[in-house]
Each structure stands twice: as C-alpha cells, then as structure tokens.
C-alpha cells in the first residue's frame, strides 16, 4: 500500500489565491488490480469572499493485457461543511487506456458531472493522448474540445 500527498498554491492575477491539498492511498492486491482512495480540500480566496470545497474519491483499475487497462473513478464533493441532506456535486466515469508505443499511450472514455445544487448533469468524452519521457508524463484531455467542435459543426444551425 502506498500513501502520498500533494499540494499547490496559485496566485490568480486579478482574482485571488487558490490553495489545494490532497492525500491518496493506493493498494494493489496483484499485478492486474489497483484500488485507490483520496481526500482533498480546495480553498479559493478572492477579495471580500472565499469558498471551500472538500471531496473524497475512489478509483479502480484492471489490466486486461500488458498494454490495455480499464479505469473507473468517482468523486463526491461538498462546497462547505454545513449540514445538508445531499452532497453538492460529483463526477464519475471510466476509460480504456492503450499503450500505443514505448512512450505513447491513449485514454478513451466518458466522464459524467453532476451538480445537486442546480440539478444539472452533463457528460464529456475523455480523449487523452500521453507522452512519457525520462519518468515524466505529459498529457492533455481533448474530449471537451472535441465535443464542442462536434456540437458546433452538427447541432448549431
């Protein structure tokens, strides 16, 4: 079992300061399965206002073949710690990960977002190419951009 944490602070010019902290634990019962649980806190401080978000998440991964794996994830979050009947929001989803070459991989799937406060839900595809170099990974999720391009081409007449 592994446990690690991360944090960051960003000064957003003209807006305020964003602070983020996360703690995660991961467990692998064998070489095919991986299970993870995480807790996080995010505070956004802007002049005359601030907001706090607290969340908990889980993820499960299963490796079918040496170069193909399935990943499922979910996160629930609260906008503050005041008592309430339901959680403020969530997102969950899954994707398949394909190792295409020694340094290249591709993740393809779907992510669902929900907001209980405004009773909204939306689904966004995951299209995330990755490049690995010297132990570091660079990736970008183009799913939302791809979805907006398709909407603009076919559904906005």
Q: 2-154 architecture in CATH?
A: Beta Barrel (2.40)
Instruction: Read off the pLDDT of residues 16-33 as tens digits, 9 standing for 90 and up.
Output: 898 999 999 999 999 999
Question: Which contiguous run of DSSP H or E holds residue 148?
Answer: helix 143-154
> What was the pLDDT predicted at 58?
96
> What was the pLDDT predicted at 43?
87
Mean pLDDT on 121-134: 93
Q: Is the pLDDT of residue 60 over 60?
A: yes
Q: What are the residue boundaries of the structural domains of the chain, listed by start?
A: 2-154
Taking the C-alpha atoms of residue 107 and residue 110, their distance in angstroms, rounded to an integer, is 10
**60: which residues sit within 8 A by CB, 6+ positions away?**
33, 34, 35, 36, 71, 72, 73
pTM value? 0.79
């Amino acid at each position: 079992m592994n446990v690690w944490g991360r944090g960051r602070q960003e000064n957003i010019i003209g807006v305020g300061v964003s602070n983020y902290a996360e703690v995660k634990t991961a467990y692998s019962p064998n070489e095919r399965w991986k299970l993870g649980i995480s807790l996080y806190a995010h505070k956004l401080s802007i002049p005359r206002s601030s907001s706090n978000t607290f969340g908990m998440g889980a993820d499960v991964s299963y490796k079918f073949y040496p170069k193909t794996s399935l990943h499922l994830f979910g996160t629930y979050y609260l906008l503050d710690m005041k008592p309430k009947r339901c959680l403020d929001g969530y997102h969950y989803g899954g994707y398949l990960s394909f190792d295409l070459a020694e340094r290249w991989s591709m993740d393809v799937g779907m992510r669902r977002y929900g907001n209980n406060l405004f009773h909204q839900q939306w689904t966004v595809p995951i299209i995330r190419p990755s490049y690995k170099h010297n132990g570091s990974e660079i990736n970008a999720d183009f799913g939302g951009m791809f979805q907006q391009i398709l909407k603009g081409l076919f559904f906005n007449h």
